[in-house]
Amino acid sequence: MPALDDPLVQTGSADHPAVFRFDIDERAGWVLAMKESPKNPQPMDRIRRLNPGTHVERARYARSEMRVSSACLFISTGGDSVRMINPMKGDTIGIGFIGAGRVAANQRAAIERCSGAELRGLFDADSVTAESRSRAWSVPAYASAEALLADPGIAAVFVLTPVEYHATSAIRALEAGKHVLVEKPVSLDGVEIDAMIAAAEASGRLCVPGHSYVYLPAFDQVRRVLDEGGMGTVCHMEMKEFYRMPEDFLPRYHGPVDEVLWHHIYSLLYLLGKPARLCAMTAGFREGLNPGEPEQVVVLAQLPSGATATLTLSWAANDETSDPWTYKLKVIGTDGGATFSRRDIVLGSGIGGPPWYCPMYQESFDREVVHFVRDCIGSGTPPPSTMADARETLNILHAVKRSIADGAVVAVE
């Protein structure tokens, strides 16, 4: 039996520590895990078959498998020894990008700021983009997604392509044993989201949606106050996002209903929960730029409690008033309320346009990456907004589209 460098791994909280012992059953080819607790030693699952000749093997303990404060570990076989790789213990998670366009720059900046994470390579279907990003970021550009996925130094993949390629890339990456962060909108097809969830379960890897807005501290604070009932009875939530999307950016996106309303919907789910019914209206002011796609959408939703919410999103105009709706959140209850604006801090050029000049825009990516690497991969903590939330987000988006098409109030099923 190969020797284990570090067969004991301590996880869990200070109050409820858990220790796991790992052994390799060479004949059966399984890594075996044993939870060691003074009171209740428990054998755990066989967690991963070791492929002969595979340079790096990874195994993950999922919360559901362990039914304890879960640990997420990589087990790397090299020669005849086994090493645990855990970002919580100072190891580095290698990351690869599939898609290297605009949002990749935000994600790359976030990785640069996250100790324990390193961008190790990228693939972009456009070779000019791939080469320029590769040069600028000093990482290899792979000739194909398969070549990137075959790199054992890459443990996690960020899927940063347009939405129509998210599912294919995410599922391939999961099947190749990588953890995945998939940009929003995760998919506009529920079957694809279910397939991503199933692929994650089958591979024992994480698939985390890029629901970046919920990572800002304000969301956490508001959610905590709401959980504690600090605002009394919640009456209303408003989320507003108003900016003029430059003409040259329009061709690469589907439009605000498909690209950005997704953020508003998972935010509503995160803060107040699933609405019971809603109605939506759209408007368009720039003729012909995105045929069939409105520039502006307003959703009025009602929660089962009777509380209401409005989600207002526009790519038509900048708001340069004294109280700008560039990005603003407000929740009002009978005993209190909360508000915050991403324009509380503004920096650099482009002020007034799309919100990229607000440092809190980049901060949401920074915090998302830290959470993905250290909390999800490192400690097995589930993300604040999950793939199940992505599935529910799509369900609500479908209700919005039904309301727009029918001009009616519709039930959210």
Ligand X SMILES: NC(=O)c1ccc[n+]([C@@H]2O[C@H](COP(=O)([O-])OP(=O)(O)OC[C@H]3O[C@@H](n4cnc5c(N)ncnc54)[C@H](O)[C@@H]3O)[C@@H](O)[C@H]2O)c1
Site residues (CB under 6 A) for ligand X? Answer: 98-104, 123-126, 129, 160-163, 165, 183-184, 210, 212, 252, 259
CB of 308 to ligand X, least distance (A): 26
Report strand pairing: 207-210 vs 179-183.
parallel
Nearer CB in complex with ligand X: 34/125: 125
Interatomic CA distance for residues 338 and 234, integer angstroms: 11
Contacts of range 25-34, beta carbons closer than 8 Å, 24 or more positions apart? 26/1, 26/2, 31/57, 31/59, 31/75, 31/82, 33/61
Contacts of range 216-221, beta carbons closer than 8 Å, 24 or more positions apart? 216/342, 216/360, 216/363, 216/364, 216/367, 217/367, 218/329, 218/338, 218/340, 219/267, 219/270, 219/271, 219/329, 219/384, 220/384, 221/338
Residues making up the chain, counted from first to last: 413
Nearer CB in complex with ligand X: 24/160: 160
CB of 384 to ligand X, least distance (A): 14
Question: In the chain, what are the helix, strand and coil shares in percent, each to the nearest 5?
Answer: 35, 30, 35
Tokens matching residue 237: 């939530």
CB of 94 to ligand X, least distance (A): 18
Nearer CB in complex with ligand X: 99/333: 99
CB of 393 to ligand X, least distance (A): 13
Nearer CB in complex with ligand X: 30/165: 165
Interatomic CA distance for residues 230 and 126, integer angstroms: 50
Nearer CB in complex with ligand X: 155/245: 245
Nearer CB in complex with ligand X: 184/205: 184
Beta strands in 111-256 (DSSP E): 117-123, 156-159, 179-183, 207-210, 234-242
Interatomic CA distance for residues 349 and 398, integer angstroms: 37
Nearer CB in complex with ligand X: 133/205: 133
CB of 168 to ligand X, least distance (A): 7
CB of 252 to ligand X, least distance (A): 4
How far are the Cα atoms of 16, 35, 43, 47, 128 from residue 40, in angstroms, in the given order? 13, 8, 10, 20, 58
CB of 385 to ligand X, least distance (A): 12
Interatomic CA distance for residues 147 and 126, integer angstroms: 16
Query: Which residue type, as a one-letter code, is found at position 129?
Result: T
CB of 152 to ligand X, least distance (A): 21
Radius of gyration of the chain (CA): 23
Nearer CB in complex with ligand X: 72/208: 208
Which residue has its beta carbon closest to ligand X? 101
